[in-house]
Structure 1
């Protein structure tokens, strides 16, 4: 084979995965949906580099960004089935699988990723999320900052403004809210948003400022209404068998790279991206509608209603929804100043 052909193959392979595996006893395949150029990828790479360094090179990590090893919606299943060894993914991509976890995603639960991640990690550590993660070995959980409404051609201030609009919903709870208000919600992973907006398949999107920046929503949306509609929860999970197969000293390294420290590490990444995403929209001359008392009051009945409907649906399934909700709110308040 010609030298140029070998070089082309090597270059292609380098774009698919970030390798850190020299002389490793075990190599972990780490799948996530964010672009390799994103700050979120860089944050996850810092975790993997620290893991390799702490294990003296005995744990290597191959990072597969941009859905190159598994599609975003299938990432958690990819870990349970052994396609990937580790994933960072959104719980909401698999509907009804993490109902207690997604209580943290309800409207108004948090103001920053640091606050939400602190509350969610504590909920998990306390055992308040039941058996939702029994299929994997959870390393840490976290949230992003609040999600808002970003539209291309129409400014939104009141619930009536979204009637008839086709909007990307990030979660089923937000989808229920949109439908209740007369919009047409449609679900899709964040990497698919840009093309859908570009092709006029949707009028707008509910997403956080970090997502608006990373997935280039700011390039197409002209109006941004800060509503604190929801947040997203995330999990970094590992295949159970792979974890159990590690010698005790390497399990200890994995354990040291789990929990609140790394939850807050990723929260810091998201909070910084939120600042950058908002500033980017303002710099390009977009209209940003602040969440003032008038807008908050206009939306509050609808947001309260969707929260009540979600909690009632969980209770009907026999889950301790209100107990978990009250604990989440208490933790969120305690984590406010973190």
Structure 2
């Protein structure tokens, strides 16, 4: 019988115990979002974030990314994360109407020229603590936005607001919905992934969407008329279940914290802004009609409509005793220091 020195045997036992402790400390995080798995938003933002987390934690954190609503439906994904069905979510605040009223000020027409600028404004407001109460039930990692959402229709040209009367338009968010409603369109609410089939079947005549989304959700295949009048931007949050975060050891909390804030807002913005360029170029290449409205807030046809939506929204916040005017003022101040382009 082969004998082992007690010292060596004790070392082996300790090593085995250490390995078991390391395995026990491993964490798997379920990350849900609604973008298609083939989209660059999925691969270059969310999967890139997941891989970076895994590398920074030396494999102690694993992230399983569930795209295309496979873990939770888009309009219920934030609550699913709060409830622990998912550990992390990237979603649009507009999917839960009335839950993030101050955040959605950044959706105002003309607020930001690009995803980089609008996202910077939103992240700045959060970093200043002006939006804290809206996210008290989650651990916010970073904020981001689309570029400006503009109008796209299948069969009808939209040279002015009157041309929207009677059209069935997908309503992407509160601000855009007000613009469409005031113009006389019939609002139809649905998550972004359902827009293609709905337009294909004639359930909707068009949508307000950033150029990026026209590319990601393939709607450029269906829409042949585009009016580049920025009526909104969609605001997004990447948030984590608070209990999941609180259970992490301090060194792994630091890994999550290091993957939060402006750096990842900017990473997302770079993808969204690049896709905006690609989406518009695809429409141009197809020979589609593109009407461009310069300086929409001062445009004779569009300006009064857009300004009335801003005024009504702020008035509604005032009636709820929410500091909408303060947040709006801070957003405009942030805009002056948030660049529209990188570099």
Superposed pair shares fold, TM > 0.5: yes
Q: Does 1:263 align with 2:259?
A: no
Verify: 1:60 aligned to 2:62, yes or no. yes
1:23-62 alignment runs, 5 A limit: 25-42=26-43, 43-62=45-64
Is the Cα–Cα contact under 8 Å of residues 152 and 208 in structure 2 kept in the other structure?
yes
* Corresponding residue of 2:215: 213
Structure 1 residue runs without a partner (length 5+): 1-22
Corresponding position of 1:317: 320
- Whether the 8 Å contact between 2:225 and 2:289 is mirrored in structure 1 is yes
Q: Deviations over 1:76-116 (max 9, x none)?
A: 01101110000100000000000000000011100000101
Tell me how far apart the structure 2 counterparts of residues 120 and 209 of structure 1 sit (CA, whole Å). Answer: 20
Tell whether the 8 Å contact from 1:227 to 1:296 is kept in structure 2 after alignment.
no
Separation (CA, whole Å) in 1 of partners of 2:94 and 2:73: 14
Q: Is the 8 A contact 1:166 1:203 kept in 2?
A: yes
Matched residue count: 317
Question: Corresponding residue for 1:307?
Answer: 310
1:293: how far off? 5.5
Give CA-to-partner distance per residue, 1:287-323, whole Å, 9 cap, x none. Answer: 1111235893310000000000000000100000011
Question: What is the alpha-carbon distance in structure 2 between the residues aligned to residue 260 and residue 106 of structure 1?
Answer: 21
CA contact (8 A) 1:91 1:98 kept: yes
Q: Distance in 2 between the 1:262 and 1:106 partners?
A: 23
Bigger Rg, which one: 2
Give, in whole Å, the separation in 1 of the partners of 2:145 and 2:54: 25
- CA RMSD of the aligned region, Å? 1.4
SS of 2:142's equivalent in the other structure is strand
CA–CA distance in structure 2, aligned partners of residues 293 and 106 of structure 1: 14
How far residue 169 of structure 1 moved from its aligned partner, in angstroms, is 1.0
Unaligned runs of 5+ in 2: 1-22
Using the TM superposition, give the Cα deviation of residue 332 of structure 1 relative to its aligned residue in structure 2, in angstroms: 1.4
SS in 2 for 1:132: helix
- In 1, Cα distance between the equivalents of 2:185 and 2:119? 30
Aligned to 2:300: 297
TM-score by length of 2: 0.90
In 2, Cα distance between equivalents of 1:201 and 1:112? 30
1:173 Cα deviation after fit: 2.2
Q: Which runs of 4+ in 1 moved over 6 A?
A: none
Q: Per-residue displacement from partner, 1:243-295 (whole Å, max 9, x unpaired)?
A: 00000000000000000001110011100110110011111111111123589
> In the alignment, does 2:335 pair up with 1:332?
yes
